Amino acid sequence: MASEDAASEALSFSGLSTLSLYVHLPFCRRKCPYCAFYSVVPRRGEIDACLEGLRNEIVLWKDRSGFLPPLRSLYIGGGTPTLLDRRQWELLISLLEGAFSFDRTAEVTVEANPESLRAFHLRLWGEWRVTRVSLGVQSLDDDELRLLGRLHDGRGARESLAALAASGLAFSADLMFNLPGQTLKGWHRTLREVLAFGMDHLSLYDLTLEEGSAWADSPPGGRTSGYPFYRWAQWYLASRGFFQYEIASFARNRRWSRHNLAYWIRSPLLAIGPGAWGFCRERRYGNVDDLGGYLGEVAEGRLPLSAGECLLPERAFREAALLALRTAWGIPFRLFARRYGKAALETVLDALKGLPDGLFAVTDESLALSAKGMRVANAIWERFL
């Protein structure tokens, strides 16, 4: 606990030239059984209280860090940010605009769910500085959506995708595979239909049973292996012009998520809101994942930190290598050695020796996972750590 406290004490975003911001809005209409993110069903007044809490938290970070550089990326996620009504969105926008400056080319992403996305969201975001919307589609199949406990059906998802396509905003869809009873044919149908809406970005997730989710204790039957779904999607999306730039992420026209890349290359990430996780200079922190506790802390003038960890050098370079290997660009030798030392780079490369060549794409300058390597990444991580 002492080292956690020390890590939290030393945590500061001062002296940086670049910064990404994550805002966690921890509200959902209903909890999905596979989800382990912190979110609650909002009671009356709680969303407004949370927005006030965010305002207070930003002031506390500014007091701690002094000058904060312009934001290179902003991601407003959750939870379900589209649960905020127009007034609440205007409030959030005005508090972010008042507190931060933005790079001219800043990427601003908002997460949306089909059952609560409204025309006013799209108008407001288009008039503000939102550059991309990430829609939680998961599936277009009504039975699969019901099983996942989602509040939308295939029709609702299609309507939201059509509204996004008409809005002119860039957008992405989250989809899930390896669902109970799912067939490759059904997976193909969902992918093909989603792509017809013209988005340049997709995130694909294997249904995993995360600790802390309802399904972790009582998993649903009927799942097999995610491997064939994933392998098929790699082939299909490549044939449609998509570049797999990360294990779960595919983009065309270079529309990758710069915010997510900041996370994988360990750029400084200020994260605010209950249950949010941030990172800066080999220090990781987590906010209190309880709305009441979070609000109490910030109201009393304390940063709402519940966990803080200063990564020891060995841990820092291993985690950095693992995160870099998630991306298509992999580990850039020169940059990695400059940041963590030549010995660290050699340790990483040694750990990967002996694995089959076909798992990697190696040049003089970098080492990355091949498409095949991405399919077996979990086995590589185990050996690696």
Q: Which residues bind ligand SF4 (CB under 6 A)?
A: 28, 31-32, 35, 37, 39, 78-80, 113, 136
Cβ 259 to ligand SF4 shortest distance, Å: 17
Q: How far is CA 99 from the centre of its chain?
A: 23
- Name the residue nearer to ligand SF4 (CB basis): 35 or 60: 35
- Name the residue nearer to ligand SF4 (CB basis): 29 or 192: 29
- Name the residue nearer to ligand SF4 (CB basis): 114 or 278: 114
- Name the residue nearer to ligand SF4 (CB basis): 65 or 138: 138
- Name the residue nearer to ligand SF4 (CB basis): 19 or 207: 207
Spell 250-276 as b/e; 16+ CB within 10 A means b: bbbeebbbbbbbbbbbbbbbbbbbbbb
Residue in this structure with the two tokens 């080319």, named with its chain if needed: 105
- Name the residue nearer to ligand SF4 (CB basis): 37 or 329: 37
Degrees to nearest 5, angle at CA 345 with 341 and 350: 145
- Name the residue nearer to ligand SF4 (CB basis): 272 or 280: 272
- Name the residue nearer to ligand SF4 (CB basis): 31 or 375: 31
Cβ 35 to ligand SF4 shortest distance, Å: 3
Query: Coil, helix or strand for 356?
Result: coil
HSE-up of residue 380 (Cα within 13 Å, Cβ side): 28
- Name the residue nearer to ligand SF4 (CB basis): 151 or 361: 151
Cβ 149 to ligand SF4 shortest distance, Å: 7
Cβ 175 to ligand SF4 shortest distance, Å: 13
Cβ 215 to ligand SF4 shortest distance, Å: 11
Cβ 220 to ligand SF4 shortest distance, Å: 15
Structure tokens given for 221? 């039957």
Neighbours of 204 (CB within 10 A): 22
Residue of 51, 57, 64, 63 lying closest to 90 (CA atoms): 51
The interaxial angle of helices 313-325 and 333-340, nearest 10 deg, is: 160
| DSSP secondary structure string for all residues of 302-340 | ---EEEEEE--HHHHHHHHHHHHHTBTT-EEHHHHHHHH
DSSP-derived pairing of the beta strands 283-287 and 269-272: unpaired
Please tell me the distance from the alpha carbon of residue 66 to that of residue 269, in angstroms, as a whole number. 16
Cβ 33 to ligand SF4 shortest distance, Å: 9
**For the purposes of burial, counting CB atoms within 10 Å of the CB of 39, is it exposed (0-12), middle (13-18) or buried (19 or more)?**
buried
Structure tokens given for 49? 């209280």
Cβ 27 to ligand SF4 shortest distance, Å: 8
Cβ 32 to ligand SF4 shortest distance, Å: 3
Please tell me the distance from the alpha carbon of residue 239 to that of residue 187, in angstroms, as a whole number. 16
- Name the residue nearer to ligand SF4 (CB basis): 78 or 268: 78
DSSP state of 114: T
Please tell me the distance from the alpha carbon of residue 299 to that of residue 318, in angstroms, as a whole number. 37
Cβ 129 to ligand SF4 shortest distance, Å: 24
Q: How far is CA 50 from the centre of its chain?
A: 21
Structure tokens given for 360? 């990697």
Q: Does residue 91 contact residue 51 with C-beta atoms inside 8 Å?
A: yes
